[in-house]
Amino acid sequence: METLAEPGVSPLVETRGVTKRYGDTLALNSVTLKVWAGHSVALAGRNGAGKSTMVRLMTGLERPDAGEVLFSGGPAPDIAARAQWRTKVACVYQKSTIIPELTVGENLFLNDHPGSRFGAIRWGELRRLGRRELDAWGLDVAIDQLAGELTVGERQRLEIARALRKGSRFIILDEPTARLESREIRQLFDHIGRLKASGVTFLFISHHLQEIYEICERVAVMRDGRLVAEAAVEELDEDAVVAAMVGQAYVRPGQTTHVPRRAFPTASDERPIVLDVDNVAVDGTVSGASLKVRAGERVGLAGLAGSGKAELARAIVGQLAPSTGRISVSGAPLAVGRVDLARDSGVAWVPEDRHFNGFCGNLSVEENIALPVLRRLNRALGFVSGQRRRGLAETMIGRLEIKVSDPSQNISELSGGNQQKTVMSRALASEPKLLVLGHPTAGVDIASKEALFGIIRATGSAVLLVSDEIDELAICDRVLVMFGGRIVREFAGPWEEHEMVAAMEGLGQ
């Protein structure tokens, strides 16, 4: 890295020993990263490695607890001086910040219009300057067109142009290709190439490793809040990047290496099939996936965001209707798109985002547990038996060791781990044949994570665990990996973590 240093020249951007802590979590642990002008850097790392925190510090959204951020050797502007930050660095996020109701020109000059002394916008001037900017950055769109009419890719390039207009020559691209079609990815890469030739440097974050090699000179890998590798792309191939992401001497929490894995299924497996997914497609996300889960089996469904795993899971639990294919539970075909009927056929579900659709924050722990099984707690005429509901809640609270002062405590008052246990107990309350778990230990502390793993191991139901976390997938008997809407690989028995990560990244096919 030091070979890049020329005497008297400072790196374009440098984080010098930055540390950031959120509560008990150490998000960044003394990270030093230098980005030199003309050497675009790819930042790789698994979820939670600290990439987003790095972006937040480098764009001045947050201040490091220790260490500092430098631009061309000078200290970063004060965190309140947003205008100054914008002249140094810009980040194009996955979520667009282009306002679709305004024209291309207005978006380009947002809150910075060429105006008269009295604040009136000089439209002629705006168009003239705007066209010059668009020409300069090679963007072929009409200045008066509504931004909403642009393609996703064009909007992205408009966003980059806006950042460049503010004077920034360092652009962070956060998963820019996630929402693009392949033709648009090509156009974006061509555009990035042109901009690099005219002196713009990029920090590129992507889960698709092939892309890194196409547009970056250097690659930096983060793991557990540390920078674990940084080199020129020629020196670090894809396998080495994956190895760095996973960590060589990496021990999975909650799984000592001595625990023998349960016998994994063979072709002669006699256990009855609980879930049979036959060639299921969901518009635009899943194309022809088939899988089987047998009684007592724990199967992982792995894949990154956008791989189609979440949509396939939602089709199985009845939240969305597949366009083609068949899903059967214990041999009986499932009515499509009906959560209640899926539940009645024995499918229980722990959604991946508990705050979005896991629990009702206005209700008590007891009521949340009982919600899907109210019919079973019937006393007469559909009235719920309070006693039986309390009994169910107390059983589940005891079985899952949920920490509550009383079953009637509001669920919003619990910690994340205990909320997740409540959501889990709700799924278990229906005594399902199949338990579909979406990222079941997301955002919970280590102790709760352990407890949740114990609960999953102890359940008699067949389990389909949908996740991109190796830690979670480790409790499965076998793991199916999805990429681009298809199941691309199956891992049975002991597997190498880096192979699975590589499969999720779409490598090695």
The interface with other proteins within residues 373-412 (CB under 8 A) comprises 374-375, 377-378, 381-384, 386, 390, 405-409
Provide the 10 A C-beta neighbour count for residue 311. Answer: 23
> What share of residues in the chain are helix, strand, coil (percent, to 5)?
35, 25, 40
* Residue from 393, 396, 417 nearest 407 by CA: 393
Q: Which of 343, 449, 489, 498 binds other proteins (CB under 8 A)?
A: 343
Alpha-carbon distances of 410 from 142, 296, 344, 359, 407, rounded to whole Å: 54, 34, 27, 11, 8
How are beta strands 298-302 and 347-350 bridged, if at all? unpaired
The smaller minimum CB distance to other proteins, of residues 86 and 343, is found at 343
CB of 463 to other proteins, least distance (A): 18
How far CA 190 is from CA of 62, 137, 147, 177, in Å, comes to 32, 12, 21, 13
- Taken in order 458, 463, 469, 475, the sign of the CA dihedral is positive
CB of 23 to other proteins, least distance (A): 22
Is there a contact between 402 and 396 (Cβ–Cβ < 8 Å)? yes
Beta bridge partners of 435: 348, 463
Q: Per CB under 8 A, does 360 bind other proteins? A: yes
| Segment lying near other proteins (by CB under 8 A), choices 47-55, 239-247, 326-334, 358-366 | 358-366
Q: Which is nearer to other proteins, 343 or 421 (CB)?
A: 343
Distance from first CA to last CA of the chain, Å, rounded? 32
DSSP codes joined into one string, 432-497: -SEEEEESTTTT--HHHHHHHHHHHHH--SEEEEEES-HHHHTTSSEEEEEETTEEEEEEESS--H
372 binds other proteins (CB under 8 A): yes
Stretch near other proteins under the rule CB under 8 A, chosen from 225-233, 236-244, 366-374, 443-451: 366-374
Size of the residue set binding other proteins (CB under 8 A)? 38
N residues, the chain: 509
| Near other proteins by CB under 8 A: residue from 225, 358, 417, 506 | 358
Measured from the CB atom, is 103 or 345 closer to other proteins?
A: 345
Dihedral angle sign, alpha carbons of residues 148, 154, 159, 162: negative
Which region among 111-119, 128-136, 176-184, 367-375 touches other proteins (by CB under 8 A)?
367-375
Closest Cα partner for 316 from 295, 296, 335?
335
Task: Indicate which single residue of 349, 453, 483, 491 sits in contact with other proteins (rule: CB under 8 A).
Answer: 349
204 in helix, strand or coil? Answer: strand
Quote the tokens at residue 305: 């965001």
Nearest CB to other proteins, comparing residues 417 and 438: 438
426 binds other proteins (CB under 8 A): yes
Among positions 80, 117, 257, 356, the unique one binding other proteins when judged by CB under 8 A: 356
* Binds other proteins by CB under 8 A, chosen from 36, 71, 359, 483: 359
210 vs 412, beta carbon nearer other proteins: 412
- Lookup: tokens for 406: 């009383």
233 or 348, CB closer to other proteins? 348
Task: Name the segment binding other proteins (CB under 8 A); options: 82-90, 109-117, 141-149, 351-359.
Answer: 351-359
- The CB-of-376 to other proteins minimum distance in angstroms stands at 10
Verify binding: residue 342, other proteins, rule CB under 8 A: yes
319 binds other proteins per the rule CB under 8 A: yes
List residues binding other proteins (CB under 8 A). Answer: 317-319, 339-340, 342-344, 349, 351, 356-363, 367, 370-372, 374-375, 377-378, 381-384, 386, 390, 405-409, 426
